[in-house]
Amino acid sequence: MNLNMLDDIPDPEGLSFDKLTGWLNERIDVIRKTPFTPEIAKTFTSVEFKDTSDHPLGIEASSAWRRFFLATLLADWASYDKPVDRADYARLKYIMTSAYRYTRLWGCRLPDGKFTPLGYTAWYPVAKFVFEGVLNNSADVDDRGIILPLRNATPENTRYGYVFNISIAKELFNTPYSQRLGLAFKSDLENLPKLGFLAITVDPDDAQRLCSLGNFVHTGDVLIQGAREALYVRRPLLG
């Protein structure tokens, strides 16, 4: 899991809102000012958290998980300038209690010596009725929050998933960095041929990535808080 890469990520437990957002904005400022040289590119790698331990108090009690969550939040915020486009802290934390097994975090060691998350891909298992309900009644979908993750599912005991995010810092759009992230995500989906996937996107670039990397097709639109967003689906590749 090479979680030692995240030693520079603080444990958010007990941090005030001001300290937490201050740290996030500080690291995003460093990212924005970084010249991504070939030397930095050599350090670009992914980190996963595949903990299967039994946590009586929930995975949130794990300090390693909390740092992985905060690292993912940083990767998300670094990918978008507008707060409205960023993952909400509370919602991402809820999603990550289930989706951490299916989250691939990407980052580099920047000139200040700190490994810094720059992007991530994530999906999570959903129930059959959620998958079919969204697909068959897209006109009734007005909030992404209804697409809830199955809490204790694994790819072996579920047939449906929801692509939560494919994102990378804007400085790395259309670069070998984004290509590596995308190809790894494509491989992840190809290794799950029996699963059907949903995805909702408002960004045409995200839609193009879904189609080219995961064989997704546009099946309709949903109206989320007054904004029209596109619904995509990948049917199971194997029966």
Q: Residues 107-159: pLDDT tens digits? A: 999 999 999 999 999 999 999 999 999 988 888 888 888 898 998 787 778 89
Instruction: Provide the greatest CA pair distance for the chain.
Output: 50
Q: In the chain, what are the domains?
A: 3-234 (3.40.630.30)
| Residue 176 reports pLDDT greater than 60 | yes
Portion of the chain with pLDDT greater than 70, in percent = 98
Q: Please report the pLDDT score of residue 158 as a whole number.
A: 86
pTM: 0.92
User: Number of helices and strands (H, E) in the chain?
Assistant: 7, 7
CA distance 224 to 239: 32
Strands 160-168 and 45-47, bridge-based pairing:
unpaired
More confident residue, 58 or 22: 22
More confident residue, 178 or 209: 178
Q: What is the pLDDT of residues 81-100, one digit of tens each?
A: 888 889 989 999 999 998 89
* Structure-token match 């996937």, residue found: 197
Sequential DSSP letters for 78-104? HH-SSGGGSPPHHHHHHHHHHHGGGEE
Q: Please report the pLDDT score of residue 27 as a whole number.
A: 97
Per-residue pLDDT averaged across 223-233, rounded? 84
More confident residue, 214 or 239: 214
